Amino acid sequence: MCGIVGYVGSRPALPVVVEGLRRMEYRGYDSAGIAVVTPDGVLNTAKKAGRIGNLDVELAGREITGNTGIGHTRWATHGAPNDRNAHPHLDAAGRIAVIHNGIIENFHELRAELERDGVELTSDTDTEIVAHLVAAVLREGGDDVVLAEAVRSVCRRLEGSFTLVFVDRDHPDSVVAARRNSPLVLGLGDGETFLGSSDVAFIEFTKRAVEIGQDQVVEITRDGYTLTDLHGNPAEGKPYAITWDLEAAEKGGYEYFMLKEIQEQPTAVGETLRSHFMDGRITLDEQRLDISVLREIDKVFVVGCGSAYHAGLLAKHAIEHWTRIPVEVEMASEFRYRDPVLDRQTLVIAISQSGETADTLEAVRHAKDQRATVLAICNTNGAQIPREADAVLYTHAGPEIGVAATKTFTAQVAAVLIVGLALAQARGTKYGDEIAAEFAALEAMPDLIRQTLERVEDVRRIAREIANAKAILFLGRHVGYPVALEGALKLKELAYMHAEGFPAGELKHGPIALVEQDLPVVVVMPDPTGRPLLHQKMLSNIAEISARGARTIVIATEGDELAAKHAAHLIELPFSPTLLSPLLSAIPMQVLAAEIAQARGFDVDKPRNLAKSVTVE
């Protein structure tokens, strides 16, 4: 939530900052703003509610020079999404400009303190107070206090989560930033240094990046950076190389990022698999725990939100099947509030593409407080969740700019399958050759995903036919149920349509009352050979809803003649083993939602009210 960019170098800062914001607009699009400082100490700012296009209009015709700048794209928390609350915010003298991602929880006390001191606040945000507090420290300290010192002193008083980035018109050659529970990475160029909520902000200029740690303050200049903790002690960042190209962060001829990201799934899944199986053994990326810990696990919890939660539901099937360890799956936002039974022998698997979802992060912290072991599945280097976990498996989906999860979801599904096999390997519940055989089946999936993508024209046609429906239901059983939930979620978030996913057997216990003439119902069929009993039950469910007038859209394995006979519309998938089949059946769900959203005239990449990473609970 909220995207942040910072730059110091020899280029004009404005285009670097605005371009960085454009790349990160998926993080929030309630407003956008910039601050640029000229070498002779003039602080120029511009900000506008709405998308970056509005800021472009605001900037048109203005000459803003200067090689030091910051920029912000907002997902509103405190204060309505209007011009007044847009970032950057300034202190009363207009010396300091600050941008912020996160929430300052003791904002009310701090605001009251400033008001008592006669400070006039010009916005409703929790951010503006920081500008005034930092300015006060600078004023009181005189020449002895520099911006970084003032920022450290104010940050020690702040509670909550923040990435804060500042420019000071009196020191035009540097940008200062601080972070707690909110992402911040820096990019090192030749004679220029960048900051971003994500490396997407500066991928065009450098692939050398550094993760900024928890409660650290960084000052960047064109020659590099100085990193300290909140007390001024030298600190170390974690350098890493960005492994993807600018192309990955561009639309590449597609109308929407989401459409491109759907097509990138063979690579996203393939890369995730390739990097975790070496010399006949499954490997994790970071393992800060002894293998004996995994051997002694007697219970697994999987936590995540939205699509990541759906990947978690699939993890249950794989892990229980391959290891016989009981698995519970829980929405991360519910987990810590109901006192789950956790101990040293519990493994908590936290799934989060961004690695910064506040609900999931708090679930991780709760698990660790209870001495459980935490394994994170994440798509983003430098994010907080993998930093706090005992072990990490990175999905290698590359940056996902479309707000709705597509390639990161299928990469998460691949990842939970890898984790299932890793646990089976650690615990010896499967022989090495059995694991290798399961992995070989997994390695065939990118090609089957490619074949599935080649056939989506039918899905598009059906989508256009049902685009004006009032509601759509999604049904599945076994691994088809999480896919049904994912289909309904995609449709809600992109097409703003009422959509529900149900286990097909549950339908007759109430939801069947929703079925009326012509209601589109998407049904995920199991493979008739792999799961004959389930297949038979699903056919009965299709018959029940068809008899009540539903228009069935059946996703089935090719050659499934019975499904074809019962379906009003048929979407065929190549054959795949049951546990792996969601990697294919999720794809028509994504295409259906994207196409319906387009047909209804909505922005597929930036659905209303949403942001890509949700850093508030």
Phi, psi of 158 (to 5 degrees): -85, 145
Taken in order 490, 491, 494, 496, is the CA torsion positive or negative?
negative
Contact positions with ligand F6R (CB under 6 A) in 170-199? none
**Closest separation between CB of residue 409 and ligand F6R, Å?**
7
- Tell me whether residue 565 is one of the annotated catalytic residues: no
- Segment interacting with ligand F6R, rule: CB under 6 A, options 30-38, 88-96, 305-313, 456-464: 305-313
**Whose Cβ is closer to ligand F6R: residue 196's or residue 306's?**
306
> Which among 400, 586, 613, 410 is positioned nearest to 485, based on CA atoms?
586
Question: Which of 35/351 has CB closer to ligand F6R?
Answer: 351
Q: Please give the Cα distance from 294 to 317 (Å, whole number).
A: 18
Residue nearest to ligand F6R (CB): 306
Rounded to whole angstroms, how far apart are CA atoms 96 and 2?
Answer: 20
**Residue 246 backbone phi and psi in degrees, to 5:** -50, -40
For residues 446 and 587, is the Cβ–Cβ distance under 8 A?
no
Contact between 419 and ligand F6R by CB under 6 A: the answer reads no
Q: By CB under 6 A, is residue 161 in contact with ligand F6R?
A: no
Total residues binding ligand F6R (CB under 6 A) = 15
Applying CB under 6 A, which part among 79-87, 167-175, 302-310, 500-508 lies near ligand F6R?
302-310
Question: What is the nearest approach in angstroms of ligand F6R to the Cβ of residue 498?
Answer: 17
Closest CB to ligand F6R among residues 306, 420: 306
Does position 353 interact with ligand F6R (CB under 6 A)? The reply is: yes
> Among the options 48, 430, 490, 612, which is catalytic?
612
Asked if 449 contacts 265 with a C-beta cutoff of 8 angstroms, the reply is yes
- 362 lies in the site for ligand F6R, by CB under 6 A: no
Given a contact cutoff of 8 angstroms between Cβ atoms, the answer to whether 306 and 485 are in contact is: no
First to last CA, the chain: 12
Least Å from the CB of residue 23 to ligand F6R: 17
**Catalytic one of 2, 155, 305, 378:** 2
Q: Give the residue carrying structure tokens 């993080």.
A: 27
Report 490-509 residues binding ligand F6R (CB under 6 A): 493
Choices 199-207, 215-223, 267-275, 301-309; region in contact with ligand F6R by CB under 6 A: 301-309
Q: Which of residues 231-290 bind ligand F6R (CB under 6 A)?
A: none
Q: What's the min distance (Å) between Cβ of 291 and ligand F6R? A: 27
Q: Which is nearer to ligand F6R, 33 or 306 (by Cβ)?
A: 306
* Least separation in angstroms between CB 594 and ligand F6R: 11
Work out how close the CB of 493 gets to ligand F6R at its nearest, in angstroms, rounded to a whole number.
6
493 vs 560, beta carbon nearer ligand F6R: 493
- 440 Cβ contact list (under 8 Å, min separation 6): none
Q: Does 306 bind ligand F6R (CB under 6 A)?
A: yes
Contact 453, 263 (CB under 8 A): yes
Tell me the HSE value of 271 on the side-chain side, using a 13 A CA sphere.
15
Q: Which is nearer to ligand F6R, 333 or 552 (CB)?
A: 333
Closest CA to 389 of 367, 422, 359: 367
- Find tokens 């759509």 and name the residue: 472
Binding residue for ligand F6R, selected from 67, 101, 163, 352, defined by CB under 6 A: 352
Q: Does 392 help bind ligand F6R (rule: CB under 6 A)? A: no
- Tokens encoding 100: 């912020």
354 touches ligand F6R (CB under 6 A): yes
| By CB under 6 A, residue 489 contacts ligand F6R | yes
Q: Is 307 in the site for ligand F6R (CB under 6 A)?
A: yes
- Pick out residues in 13-72 that bind ligand F6R (CB under 6 A): none
Pairing verdict, β 373-378 and 391-394: parallel
Other C-beta atoms within 10 Å of 287: how many?
16
CB of residue 440 vs ligand F6R: minimum separation in angstroms? 28
Q: What is the DSSP letter of 4?
A: E
Residue 333 C-beta: closest distance to ligand F6R, Å: 10
Nearest CB to ligand F6R, comparing residues 216 and 384: 384
Taking the least distance from each CB to ligand F6R, the nearer of 96 and 248 is: 248
CB 601 within 8 Å of CB 317: no
Give the C-alpha separation, 27 to 434, whole Å: 42
User: Which tokens is 159 given?
Assistant: 């509670």
Among 395, 410, 613, 615, binds ligand F6R (CB under 6 A): 613
471 alpha-carbon distance from chain centroid: 27
Contact between 614 and ligand F6R by CB under 6 A: the answer reads yes
Between CA 435 and CA 421 the distance in angstroms is 6
The stretch near ligand F6R (CB under 6 A) out of 57-65, 77-85, 351-359, 573-581 is: 351-359
Listed residue (128, 151, 162, 156) closest to 219, CA to CA = 151
612 is annotated as an active-site residue:
yes
The rounded Cα 566 to chain-centroid distance in angstroms is 38
| Shortest distance (Å) from residue 105 CB to ligand F6R | 21
Supply the DSSP string of 332-345, one letter for each residue.
Answer: HHHHGGG-----TT
* Three-state SS sequence of 403-415: CCCCHHHHHHHHH
Q: Which residues bind ligand F6R (CB under 6 A)?
A: 305-308, 352-354, 357, 360, 404-405, 489, 493, 613-614
Catalytic machinery residues: 2, 612
